Amino acid sequence: MSIAFKEWAIICDTLGSGGQSIILRKGGIHEGREGFSFKNPEFFLFPTLFHEQIARTSLPPSTPIPAGEAGKISIAQFARVEWTATITNLETALTLSPYHVWNEEVVRERFHYDEAPGIHLAFLRVYRCEPKWGFPDEAKYGGCRSWVSIPDAPADVAMVAVLSEEAHRQRSEALYAAVA
């Protein structure tokens, strides 16, 4: 079995197109006593669907939500965590808007989600899965959890970096400077 990180389908698409290289997360209801962490250094992106996700981003309202096949989970991206940071200053979290597509309300909600203000950031090296692959959706993938076990990718799936080495390095340096 492989590990997958559940994220909005539109964010998975943005990561897979090189539009952003970070995940901002507070955690899900089922994260356990320790709370959320980027405990897996590499993972597939597991797209989740809900109709309001475009409105919760800075993307144009006409942006289509990536459509999945009914009853099937389609995996199109793989990610490696290069570095993480915990941001405990809301103003710092808000200054990251050039590096992601969530709207300010979502960042504020995630920052203030529980008693301890803050948000986790993971800077990722993202790869497209070529070809995409999938498996049947099952109840075990539901619920408010960030991490799920999924079947292993077929042997013929290649991982293709979405950004060049230089573009990736420049983005990493800029983001690191923004959170330091």
d(CA 26, CA 32): 13
Domain of residue 34, residue span: 2-179
pTM confidence score: 0.91
Those residues with Cβ within 8 angstroms of residue 52's Cβ, 6 or more apart along the chain or in another chain: none
Mean pLDDT of the 81-98 span: 94
| Domain count along the chain | 1
Residue 168, helix vs strand vs coil:
helix
d(CA 125, CA 101): 17
Q: Do residues 136 and 72 make contact, with C-beta atoms less than 8 angstroms apart? A: yes
Per-residue model confidence (pLDDT) at position 27:
57
Q: Residue 45: in which H helix or E strand, if any?
A: strand 42-48
Tell me the pLDDT tens digit for each residue of 90-140: 999 999 999 999 999 999 998 998 777 889 899 999 999 999 999 999 999
Residue 49, helix vs strand vs coil:
coil
Q: Higher confidence at residue 12 or residue 29?
A: 12
